Amino acid sequence: GQNIDQPTEMTATEGAIVQINCTYQTSGFNGLFWYQQHAGEAPTFLSYNVLDGLEEKGRFSSFLSRSKGYSYLLLKELQMKDSASYLCAVRDVQTGANNLFFGTGTRLTVIP
Amino acid sequence: KAGVTQTPRYLIKTRGQQVTLSCSPISGHRSVSWYQQTPGQGLQFLFEYFSETQRNKGNFPGRFSGRQFSNSRSEMNVSTLELGDSALYLCASSLEPTGANVLTFGAGSRLTVL
């Protein structure tokens, strides 16, 4: 089966950098997604990694190591609006392209 | 370009009743997936439709069903509601269910079962 772990909650200071980790176990890894979800809103796509390495998109970066079953989302220059839940999701080739397995999410609180 | 639209946004039902939720995908998107989100379990996959065919189904009882219409709009139905069915039901669409296609989620339908 699939197993995805990420911390439940994190707190960081405005302007700082925060790293949200995600570890996974899956038999047919075929990509990892990060989504952001504000309370009461839809999850919105942040990043996609399928090969090892770092993907950078403005203040957000995502890293993947397939051999270690590990990814992280790096948020730089934190802003108050970054307070949200961050969801790690893995695609498994054996169960279908759009059957993503999600972690329970990391609730990030940015404080002044 | 309109996003994924889900209706209704909020609804309250009682045990034993049934409910139908609707999802209109982004124009041009042919794949629709449904997820259940609860605080303890996170997002869990319900089913996926493409070209009016169910391609995948998650580990949910037969009370949960769905369908997709020729215009790619989808509905899901939950019969004989139980208290544990209270959750946020999210619909997501993508161009096709392959490769790096990104799922775009709707805002969800929040179901409360009393």
According to the 3-state scheme, what is the secondary structure of chain A? CCEEECCCEEEEECCCCEEEEEEEECCCEEEEEEEEECCCCCCEEEEEECCCEEEEECCEEEEEECCCCEEEEEECCCCHHHCEEEEEEEEECCCEEEEEEECCCEEEEEEC
Q: Does B44 touch chain A (CB under 8 A)?
A: yes
Q: CB of B72 within 8 Å of any CB in chain A?
A: no
pLDDT score recorded for residue B36: 96
Mean pLDDT of B13-41: 94
**pLDDT the model gives residue A28:** 84
Q: What is the pLDDT of residue A1?
A: 60
d(CA A78, CA A12) in angstroms, rounded, equals 8
Please report the pLDDT score of residue B41 as a whole number.
82
- Please write the tens of the pLDDT for every residue from B85-106: 999 999 999 987 766 678 999 9
Which DSSP symbol is given to B25? P
Would you say residue B56 has pLDDT above 90? no
User: Is residue B33 predicted with pLDDT exceeding 80?
Assistant: yes
For B52, other C-beta atoms within 10 Å of its C-beta total 13
Contact B94 A99 (CB under 8 A): no
Among the partner residues A31, A97, A103, nearest to B97 by beta-carbon distance = A97
Low-confidence ranges of chain A (pLDDT < 70): 1, 95-98
Q: Please check whether residue B24 touches A, CB under 8 A.
A: no
For residue A40, give both structure tokens: 């009461």
Residues of A in contact with B104 (CB under 8 A): 45
